[in-house]
Chain A
Amino acid sequence: MEEIKTGVYICHCGLNIAGTVNVEEVARYAGTLPNVVVARDYRYMCSDPGQALIKDDIKNLGLNRVVVASCSPRMHEPTFRRACQDAGLNPYLFEHANIREHCSWVHDDRQIATEKAKDLVRAAVRRVFYNEPLEIKERPLNPNVLVVGGGIAGIQAALDIANGEHRVYLVEKEPAIGGHMAQLDRTFPTLDCSECILTPKMTEVGQHPFITLLAYSEVEEVAGSVGNFKVRVKKKARYVDEEKCTGCGVCEEKCPWKVDSEYEVGMGKRGVVYVPFAQAIPHVATIDKERCVYFLKGKCRACEKFCDAKAIDFEQKDEIVELEVGSIILTTGYDVFDSRRIPQYGYGRYDNVLTGLEFERMTCAAGPTGGKVLLKDGRQPESVAIIHCVGSRDENYHEYCSRVCCMYALKYAHLIKENTQAEVYQMYIDMRCFGEGFEEFYRRVCDEGVNFIRGKVAKVTDVALTEGEQGKLAVIAEDTLLGGIIRVPVDMVILCPALEARFGAEDVAKLFTINRRADGFFMERHVKLDPVATATEGVYIAGCCEGPKDIPDTVAQASAAAAKALSVISRGRVVIEPTTAQVNEVLCQACGRCEEICDFHAPKVISKDGLRVSSVDAALCKGCGACAVVCPTGAMSVRHSTREQINGMVEALLEV
């Protein structure tokens, strides 16, 4: 066996490490460890001169193992592996000790932190002794991209990629794309109409030669890894032939059954067979099977009789579509907080307490009131209160700020002023107007004579205490600027509910093996430096599934995710992680336990030269190591996580 020559490098990270850990002492100590031929400390190991130290030592001293003790390997392991590789050393002969995140930043006693750093370095030196060079292979990739969710984020990402002439499969679970943005009236702070800017993009998606739109579909299964995902999509039966349907709307007109329209958030009706909204893409009808009288009672079929195109097909079945893609972008959006959860605000009990989305539909010219701001009895309101932070910035519900409410609340005030003579009261905690043109819009609305009352609303009630409150809703709040409880009598109350993680986000996260934050939204790989990547290579996130954000931020993030996917495509091949399971055929008894435990079908017992042994398909193996744990003979192990490596660390950590 060749002589092991290890170089150890202790990083000061400025004062981040050196401020707490005596780095010189750790380096001196490292120099005394077995197989260590050089140990140095340096201000910033990740800098070019820091990396040059390693490269020079590999060349001049013939190092065949390298240990860097610095930040988390999740940060700079790739950096130092590359440095080793540049100097001709296999990158898997590098080992990282985390003496910043796991030591200097969480302890303050210099002596204790220094001792812990020594332990961590000793463990890394022991582990690297057992490291083996691994061969990095590359394989071709599939350039197709799957985008899940057809709101503005998914639309933008799909168009960016398709315009680069790569195939995009856009999966949307609803009958039409457009998402929440399609329901909005005007968009802050420029007040351009949401439909006017969204519909051209929707149409482009519908007609794009490189976009395959799978609306009314859901992803059921995902297998494989970056470059080569296999995805199973269920295309739900619409009971309407998409090819034949012209979207003329006669079926909906003739359908004798009307139900609440989701698009109009219950403020309007739709047929049981319906096109969700006028500009829907794809512009085809869907039969709501749950509520269709024919499906429930076996009689009706009115739509079928009146359809000239013969598009109605009650026999239609769900269809399974198998897709092969190289990367995946999740743009699954958000849910609106259910305002009934705060009963003291009266939503659902008082007719004239609305949610923001309901008000959006009300002010929309094509909406249920034809764009008029009206009370339930048809009168125009004389006074309106807008309650901010309903379920946001509230430790009982969501601690976070939903980031869009201040601005759309200002927009509502402006639209009310534009359409009515009403007094408007903004009941806010803090005004947060941070984006481009936001502060200017805030000033504009202030100048329009809107009243701003700083304080959290306690209650909305119809119990009048004074004559002025008769027939009105009294909004009770603490005015924190005046320092007292106030009651504001108004005709209409608009709630600004929180944006929250989608119902079912947990299942989506599991399906695509990504993580969620404590608030339920999908978690980015690095909050600042890798905001659209996830823990799974090749799966990206954009828009409100990652957290509440406005349209400009959503579009920017969607383009960022598209750029990530395009960069994978343009590289043309993916690296196969060599950290997969391997079988020692001499030890293997072909018991098949590895085969049983593996969720990826990687190990299989096969006949080889007349002997039964287990064999691992590296393309399927994810390197989770479950097979090695159940292997009774120790034949199975995972490269780069071998028993020698891990036991070696445990021994080294405890032997002093």
Chain B
Amino acid sequence: MAEFEPKIIAFCCNWCTYAAADIAGTSRIHYPANVRIVRVMCSGMVDPIYILKAFEMGADGVLIAGCHEADCHYLNGPLKCDAMFEKIKRVVNILGLEGERLRREMIAAAEAPVFAELIEEMVKQLKKLGPSPLREGVKV
């Protein structure tokens, strides 16, 4: 049987982490293809609904990544994202998902290698955890 390949949805802020992923591309820094990036204007724009939708649809991991606090294009987006994240983390726990499946990171535009390393690390971790219990066909 083929090795389990986790699916990761990454909500990346346009100004920092999306740009970091772009620079990873320009610099040809390779990382696992398990991640699908959804571009958002700000990490503070990520609605809990998107995260729940991703898990409902069978994502094995979800990443919300944006600017460091000082870099925010909209002043305080990361703080707002953190507040949302604290709440949704609890909901995700209640749903019976391991905490490691939902990550919140700050990655600046200049930190392309950090982005690549993070994806590598997440994929490794999710492979250990196995498929999300919410995936169709998986017995909980």
Contact = CB atoms under 8 A, between A and B. Distances in A.
Interface of A: 72-74, 98, 100-103, 105-109, 112-113, 115-116, 119-120, 123, 506, 509-510, 513, 515-518, 523, 535-536, 579, 597, 599-600, 622-626, 628-629, 638, 641, 643, 646-647, 649-651, 653-655
Given A106-B31, A626-B74, A641-B40, A74 B19 contact: yes
Given A74-B22, A536-B73, A628 B45 contact: yes
Given A105-B28, A515-B16, A638-B45, A624 B22 contact: no
A379 to B, nearest CB: 48
Contacts of A641: 40-41, 45
Contacts of A113: 33
A102 B12 CA distance: 12
Nearest to A622: B74
Contact of B44 (A73, A102, A626): A626
B22 A626 contact: no
B84 interface: yes
Contact of A623 (B37, B41, B49): B41
Interface string B57-90: 1110000000100111111110010001000000
B44 A625 contact: yes
A101 B54 contact: no
A526 to B, nearest CB: 10
Contact of A509 (B24, B30, B70): B70
B108 A518 contact: yes
B33 A116 contact: yes
Contacts of B102: none
Contacts of A100: 25
B80 A597 contact: yes
Interface in B86-133: 108-111, 116
Contacts of B110: 515-518, 523
Nearest to B51: A650
Contacts of B53: 647, 650-651
Q: Top 3 closest A-B pairs, CB basis?
A: A101-B25, A625-B45, A624-B74
A591 B85 CA distance: 22
Given A106-B31, A107-B33, A641-B40, A513 B25 contact: no
Nearest to B36: A653
A101 B26 contact: yes
B50 A650 contact: yes
A510 B68 CA distance: 11
Interface of B: 7, 9, 14-16, 18-19, 21-26, 28-31, 33, 36-42, 44-50, 53-54, 57-59, 67, 70-77, 80, 84, 108-111, 116
Contact of B57 (A518, A600, A655): A655
A518 B20 CA distance: 12
Contacts of A105: 25-26, 28
15 contacts: A101-B23, A101-B26, A105-B28, A107-B30, A112-B33, A119-B36, A506-B70, A518-B110, A535-B15, A622-B73, A625-B40, A626-B45, A629-B46, A643-B47, A646-B40
Nearest to A116: B33
A101 B22 contact: yes
A116 B36 contact: yes
Contacts of A623: 41
A101 B45 contact: no
A109 B73 CA distance: 36
A24 B8 CA distance: 26
Nearest to A109: B33
Nearest to B62: A650
Contact of B29 (A106, A112, A119, A600): A106
A523 B109 CA distance: 9
Contacts of B22: 72, 74, 98, 101-102
Nearest to B38: A649
Contacts of A518: 108, 110-111
Counting chain A CB atoms within 10 Å of each CB, the highest count among B18, B40, B47, B75 belongs to: B47
A101 B80 CA distance: 28
B1 to A, nearest CB: 18
Contacts of B49: 643, 647
Given A116-B33, A646-B40, A101 B108 contact: no
Contacts of A628: 45, 47
A654 B54 contact: yes
B109 to A, nearest CB: 5
Given A108-B30, A622-B73, 12 more contacts: A101-B24, A102-B21, A513-B75, A515-B110, A517-B110, A629-B46, A649-B38, A650-B9, A650-B54, A654-B9, A654-B54, A654-B59
A625 B41 contact: yes
A72 B9 CA distance: 18
A103 B57 CA distance: 22
A513 B77 CA distance: 12
Contacts of B38: 123, 646, 649-650, 653
A481 to B, nearest CB: 33
Given A513-B72, A518-B108, A101 B57 contact: no
Contacts of B9: 650, 653-654
A82 B47 CA distance: 30
B53 to A, nearest CB: 5
A102 B39 CA distance: 11
Given A106-B30, A518-B110, A626-B45, A651 B57 contact: yes
A529 to B, nearest CB: 12
B24 A106 contact: yes
B9 to A, nearest CB: 6
B74 to A, nearest CB: 4
Contacts of B33: 103, 106-107, 109, 112-113, 115-116
Contacts of A101: 21-26
B26 A625 contact: no
Contacts of A115: 33
A84 B136 CA distance: 40
A516 B45 contact: no
B47 A515 contact: no
A535 B111 CA distance: 16
